[in-house]
């Protein structure tokens, strides 16, 4: 893995000669964030050595390099999900690569189903912790100490300083953000009613199919990590039957301008 990562890093460095400080993983609800970036280079995933090959035909996947103000960023336009059939090593490979091209702060976004009664469709949730319920762990197997330690401290998976900063930004921009614990499940089914009840009983506020593996690997390498989620559906008796992928995308798109603003300002101000 180390050699594969370094090979990819060398290719990217040679091709872009660009050293980003921020990495951003664009999930549903932040897809158009690339419009906020003054783009310098775009590398399609299929041109990057060792990058996972997209399973979806015509799927646009690319690393986008550029600046926001005086901050240098790399954005992942399109992520790899475990439910698509990738191994956890493939899902998290881009995060490893980001680290060695210079990234030390990772911002991750996603769409999720809400079980916290205070949430509505379109609520923006600042993730303050997660529960890993995915069936495979990205750090299982022999540990390579060059990446990080065998036993990773997860007392602060999401940076409290970045959380404080985004709340300041949200307050001054009149955007409502709520706190929440995100549970990662493998999908690809949406949850049954009783699975949503389980999520709630365990103490999570929302549930989705991404983010947790990427954050674990980021913390393994001591990246400072921030996560934001758009609630696209509510996991309760009254709402359950309406959940479709189309509705998830629609809800995510509606919240998108606010999420974009928050993340842009976080990068500028943090
Ligand atoms: N469950 C899992 N993943 C999701 C959901 C959900 O309800 N909404 C958006 N992504």
> What per-residue confidence (pLDDT) applies to 59?
58
Are 230 and 252 in contact by the 8 Å Cβ rule? The answer is yes
Assess whether the C-beta atom of 211 lies below 6 angstroms from ligand 1: no
Q: What is the dihedral of CA 101, 151, 92, 20, to 10 degrees?
A: -20
Contact 265 CB / ligand 1 (< 6 Å): no
Distance 242 CA to ligand 1 centre (A): 12
pLDDT digits (tens, 9 = 90+) for 53-97: 766 555 579 999 999 999 999 999 999 999 999 999 999 999 999
* Omega cis (within 30) before 188: yes
Residues in the chain: 270
Domain CATH code at residue 230: 3.40.50.1580
pTM: 0.94
30 lines ligand 1 (CB under 6 A): no
Q: How many domains does the chain have?
A: 1
Structural domain that includes position 118? 2-269
Which CA distances in Å does 46 have to 5, 39, 60, 156? Answer: 16, 19, 10, 34
Q: What is the mean pLDDT of residues 242-249?
A: 80
Taking the CA of residue 252 as reference, the ligand 1 atom at the shortest distance is: 9
Task: For residues 215 and 44, give the distance between their C-alpha atoms in angstroms, rounded to a whole number.
Answer: 23
Percentages (nearest 5) of helix, strand, coil residues in the chain: 35, 25, 40
């Amino acid at each position: 893995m180390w050699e594969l990562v370094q090979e990819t890093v060398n290719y990217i460095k040679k091709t872009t000669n660009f050293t980003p400080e921020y990495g951003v993983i664009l999930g549903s609800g932040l897809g158009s964030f690339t419009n906020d970036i003054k783009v310098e280079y775009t590398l399609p995933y299929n041109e990057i050595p060792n990058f996972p090959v997209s399973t979806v035909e015509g799927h646009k996947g690319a690393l986008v390099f550029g600046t926001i103000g005086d901050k240098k960023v790399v954005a992942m336009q399109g992520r790899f999900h475990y439910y698509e059939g990738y191994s956890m090593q493939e899902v998290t490979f881009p995060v490893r690569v980001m680290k060695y091209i210079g990234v030390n702060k990772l911002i991750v976004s996603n769409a999720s189903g809400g079980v916290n009664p205070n949430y509505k469709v379109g609520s923006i949730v600042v993730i303050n912790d997660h529960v890993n319920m995915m069936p495979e762990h990205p750090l299982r197997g022999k540990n390579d100490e060059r990446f990080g330690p065998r036993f990773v401290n997860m007392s602060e998976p999401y940076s409290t300083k970045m959380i404080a900063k985004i709340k300041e930004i949200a307050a001054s921009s009149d955007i409502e953000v709520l706190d929440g614990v995100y549970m990662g499940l493998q999908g690809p089914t949406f949850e049954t009613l009783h699975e949503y009840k389980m999520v709630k009983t365990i103490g999570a506020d929302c549930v989705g199919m991404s983010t947790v593996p990427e954050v674990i690997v980021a913390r393994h390498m001591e990246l400072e990590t921030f996560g934001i989620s758009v609630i696209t559906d509510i996991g309760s008796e009254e709402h359950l039957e309406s959940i479709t992928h189309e509705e998830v995308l629609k809800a995510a798109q509606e919240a998108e301008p606010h999420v974009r603003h928050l993340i842009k300002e976080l990068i500028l101000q943090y």
